[in-house]
Amino acid sequence: MTTFGRFDDAAREYVITRPDTPLPWINYLGSEDYFGIISNTGGGYSFFRDARLRRLTRYRYNNAPFDVGGRYLYLRDSASGELWSPSWQPVRAELVDYRCRHGLGYTVIGGRRAGIDAETLYFVPLGETLEIWRTRITNRRAEVADLSLFSAVEFCLWDAWDDATNFQRNLSIGEVEVDDGVIYHKTEYRERRNHFAYFACSAELAGFDTQRDAFLGAYRGWERPLVAESGRSGDSIAHGWAPCGSHHVELSLRPGETREVIFVLGYWENPTAEKFDPPGSQTINKARVRDVIDRFRNAGEVDAAFQRLRDQWESLLDSLRVATPSEHVDRMVNIWNAYQCMVTFNLSRSASSFESGIGRGMGFRDSNQDLLGFVHMVPDRARARILDIAATQLPSGGVYHQYQPLTKTGNDAIGSGFNDDPLWLIVAVAAYVKETGDRGILDELVPYDNEPAESPLYEHLQRSMRYTRDRLGPHGLPLIGRADWNDCLNLNCFSETPGEPFQTTENRQGGVAESVFIAGLFTLAAGELATLAELHGHRDDAATFLDARRTMDAAVRAHGWDGAWFRRAYDYYGNPVGSVGNQEGKIFIEPQGMCVLAGIGLDDGKAETALSSVEAHLATPHGIVLQQPAYTRYHVELGEISTYPPGYKENAGVFCHTNPWITIAETLVGHGDRALDYYLRINPSAREAISDQHRCEPYVYAQMIAGRDAPAHGEAKNSWLTGSAAWNFVAATQWILGIRPEHDGLRIDPCLPVGWEGFTATRRFRGASYHLTVRKSGGVQGRLTSLAVDGQRIDGNLVPLAPEGATVSVEAEIDGPT
Ligand code: GLC
Ligand code: GLC
C-alpha cells in the first residue's frame, strides 16, 4: 500500500509529498474566462474560454513520459552549474522536501535542493484573464548563493487541433515581440486575430528567449535546455518554428534571504480598430494591457488577489457544511466533491488528463446532471445554464446530444436521437426550482434550436415528455434511439465497419429496441413535472403527467421485470437485454438504480429484490460494476458496449456515475448501512490508502474504476470531468444525510448506518441558514422519529421555509426503526 500524500482538511488542500505519482495528479486554475490545468509537477496548459480554439500554451497528450508541456522553472547554481526544477519536472533532479499543495483554484509546488528552497504559487485572479506564478526562493546555505532562474512556456498557435496537425503552415507563422522585458506571443495578430498572449516577469532580466530551439538546443528536450544548462540566454526572437517564452533572472541571495519573483502569463484582446501602435504599424498596441501587467508584477496586488480567491471559495463552500463520524464523507462533501462539481460546471468534459480539450462540446444530458451538484452554490449561473441548454432543444422535443460552449448552438455532427436526453432537462429544472423557489423560470421564453420561434421553458419540458411518449415500442417502453444514458448500448447500430462511429450510425431502421432505463427516467421526470405543473397552476397537465407516470410504471412492472431484477432493454429484434436468459450481460446496474429512484417497486418488494441482486451479482470491493457477466466477444446487435475488453468502461467497469443511484436506492428502502458502504467503496478519500492501485487523484472522482473482469481491477481512469461528481454529491448530502431541498421547505430525511450516532450540518437555503443536529441512538438504521424547529416539535420531516436572513435551528432524532 503506497500513498503519495495526505489531506490537509483545515487548509482545504491535498498535499502531495512525492513527485512520482502514478499519473499526473492535476488541479484547475481559473473559474471564469481564463483556465488552466496544472499537474503536481508543473505540467499542464492554459486557455481562454475554449480549450480548443484559444489554447495559450502547448501540451503534448499521450506522450512518453506522461505530462510534457507546462509552466516550467529552472534553477541553476552559478558556482557549481547544478541545474534543477523546483517543481521536479522537467529536470527531475531529486528534491528534498518536495511538496505540491493542490487547493481550491490554486496550486503551490516547491522543494529544496543544494540548500536552496523554492516554492511557487500558481493561480488565476478573479475577474482577470491571466495567471500568476509567484516564486519564493530562499537561501538556506551559510554563504551567498548566486543563482539563475529561468521560466519557460511553449506557446500554442491558438487552435489546439490545428496546432497539433498543420505543420506545413504552422512552422512558418509564429511571431513574437519583446518589449520592456515582456514577451508577447502574437501569431496571426497581423491578420484576423485581435488577441495575443503575454508573459511578464517582476524582476529585471538578464536575458530572454522566444524561439524554442534556441532555448532547448538541438536534439534536447525540456529536461535539459541548453540555455538553462549554460546559464546564458540567447535573446532569441521567434520567427516561425515554435515560439516560446523564457525569462532569465539572476539572483544573489545572502544566507537566509528570500526573494520573490512574479511571472504573469495572460491573454488580451484589443479592439480591432486599436490593434496597432503607432496606427498603421505592425506593433501590438500595449496601451490597455500594460496597466494589468504592471499591477500584477506587484507583490501586494498578488497577495490581495489571492486572498479574494480564497474568500470566494470559502463563501461557495459555506452553502453546506457537515460534520459526521466519517472523515471521508466530511472532506468530500465539504471540500473536494463540491469543488469537483464546480469544475464540471466550468469545464464540462473539455480539458483534463483524459479530455484533450479538442474533443467534445457540452453534453446535453451531462450538463443537466452536472447541475445537480452545483445549483446550491451558484444558483444564478445554474439558471443561465438551464436557459442555454434549453435553447438547443429541437421543436420535436428531441435535443442535440451536444452543443458548443462558444456559440451555444447544437452540434450537427453528432445530431440527436439519444432518447434519454430530453428528460434530463426536466430533472435539472426541478432541482433548480426546488433549490431557489424561482418558478418564474418556467415562464422564460426560450427558443428551439436557437431559432427565433420561442416558447416558455415550461413548454420545452412538456415537449421533452411528449418526445418519449411519441416514441414507445411494442411493450409500451420508450424506444432507445441511438443510445440512452449508456452511450455504448447501441441497439440500432449493427456496425461491421472499423472506425464507424457507434453513436451516430444507425444501420437498421424501423427497429423496436426499447429501454427500461428510459422508462425509469421517464417515470421520475413525469413525477417532477407533475409537481411543477401543479405549482404553476396547470392542474390538468399535472393529472396528465401523473397518468403517464402510472402507465409507464405499469409497463415497467409488466415487461421490464425479469424475476429478480429489472431488465435493461429490448433489442432490435425484441429480445430482452439484461435478462437471466442472456449468456452475457444478464444484469445491468442502470435500471436497478433508476427504476427504484423513480419509486417503481418500492411497494411490492421488487426494489428490495433488485437491490439484493445488485449486491449478489454486481458489487465488488471497488464499487458496483455496470453489468455481469461482461461481454467477452463483439455483439453486433448491442454495439460499442461489447467492444471494450471485459471490465473496462461500459463493459462491466465500475462506472462511478451509476453507483450513487444504487446508494440512493438503498436509502429509499431504508438500508443505511449498505448505502454508506457503497458510497465509501468509490469515495476517492476512502481509497487514498490504495493510491498505488487506484492511481488517479485521491481527491476527486474518476469516471471509471476497472471492474472485476479486468486484470487491473481497482484502477481508476478518467478523473475529474464526470457525472460521478454531481451524483455522489447528491447521494451523500440529500439521501444519506437526507438534507433535501423541496419546493416548500427543507426535507430532513437521513438514512444512516447503524454505527453512527448522528451528525451536524449547516445548510444555506433560500437565503436562510439552517443549523441541523441529528441524534441517533446506536444500533439502528431507521428514519426520523422526531423533529424540532427552533425548539418547537413539528409533524413530519419538512422544515418550513424561513424568511431570508433567518437562522433556524433544527433538531432531529432517530431512535428506532419506523
Ligand atoms: C460518459 C458520457 C455520458 C454517458 C456515460 C455512459 O460519461 O459523458 O453522457 O452517460 O459516458 O455512457
Ligand atoms: C465513448 C465512450 C463513452 C462516452 C462516449 C461519449 O463511447 O466509451 O464512455 O460516453 O464515447 O461520446
In testing the pocket of ligand 1, which one of 370, 419, 590, 657 has its CB within 8 Å of the most ligand atoms? 657
Q: How far is the CA of 486 from the centre of ligand 2 (A)?
A: 8
Whole-number percent of the chain with pLDDT over 70: 100
Pocket of ligand 1 (CB under 6 A): 349, 363, 365-366, 485-488, 650, 703, 722-723
Q: How far is the CA of 504 from the centre of ligand 1 (A)?
A: 15
Atom 5, ligand 2: residue with shortest CA distance? 487
Q: How far is the CA of 641 from the centre of ligand 1 (A)?
A: 12
Ordered DSSP codes for 15-62: EE--S--SS--EEEE-SSSEEEEEETTSBEEEEES-TTTTEEE--BTT
Q: Which residue carries 460534520 as its cell?
A: 323
Atom 10, ligand 1: residue with shortest CA distance? 485
Nearest to 703 by CA among 693, 713, 692, 715: 715
Residue 135: pLDDT over 80: yes
Atom nearest to 414 CA in ligand 2: 12
Could you tell me if 344 and 370 are in contact, meaning their C-beta atoms sit under 8 angstroms apart? yes
Contacts for 503-508 with beta carbons within 8 Å, 24 or more apart? 503/401, 503/414, 503/418, 503/640, 504/413, 504/414, 504/415, 506/417, 506/482, 508/572
Nearest to 152 by CA among 231, 235, 258, 225: 225
Contacts of 554 (CB under 8 A, 6+ apart): none
Pocket of ligand 2 (CB under 6 A): 487-488, 503, 640, 649-650
Q: Which residue carries 467492444 as its cell?
A: 643
pLDDT tens digits, 780-807: 777 888 999 999 999 999 999 999 999 9
Task: Give the whole-angstrom CA distance, residue 89 versus residue 173.
Answer: 29
Atom nearest to 360 CA in ligand 2: 12
pLDDT tens digits, 217-234: 999 999 999 999 999 999
pLDDT tens digits, 13-23: 999 999 999 99
Nearest to 183 by CA among 30, 32, 57: 57
> Could you say which of 77, 421, 487, 562 is catalytic?
487
Average pLDDT of the chain?
Answer: 97
**In this structure, what C-alpha cell is assigned to residue 8?**
490537509
Residue 646: pLDDT over 70: yes
Residue 818: pLDDT over 60: no
DSSP structural state of residue 566 = B
Atom 10, ligand 2: residue with shortest CA distance? 487
Q: How far is the CA of 364 from the centre of ligand 2 (A)?
A: 14
Q: How far is the CA of 649 from the centre of ligand 2 (A)?
A: 9
Q: How far is the CA of 175 from the centre of ligand 2 (A)?
A: 38
In testing the pocket of ligand 2, which one of 360, 401, 411, 487 has its CB within 8 Å of the most ligand atoms? 487
Distance (Å) of CA 66 to CA 20, 23, 63, 76, 89 = 11, 8, 5, 25, 11
Contacts for 442-449 with beta carbons within 8 Å, 24 or more apart? 442/532, 442/536, 444/387, 446/387, 446/390, 446/391, 446/393, 447/391, 448/391, 448/393, 448/394, 448/395, 449/391, 449/392, 449/393, 449/394, 449/395, 449/400, 449/409, 449/410
Q: Which residue carries 539572483 as its cell?
A: 251
Q: Say what the pLDDT of residue 766 is.
A: 98
Which ligand number lies closest to the CA of residue 658?
Answer: 1
Q: Which residue carries 427497429 as its cell?
A: 511
Q: What is the mean pLDDT of residues 513-523?
A: 98
pLDDT tens digits, 652-699: 999 999 999 999 999 999 999 999 999 999 999 999 999 999 999 999
Neighbours of 749 (CB within 10 A): 19
The question of whether 487 is a catalytic residue gets the answer yes
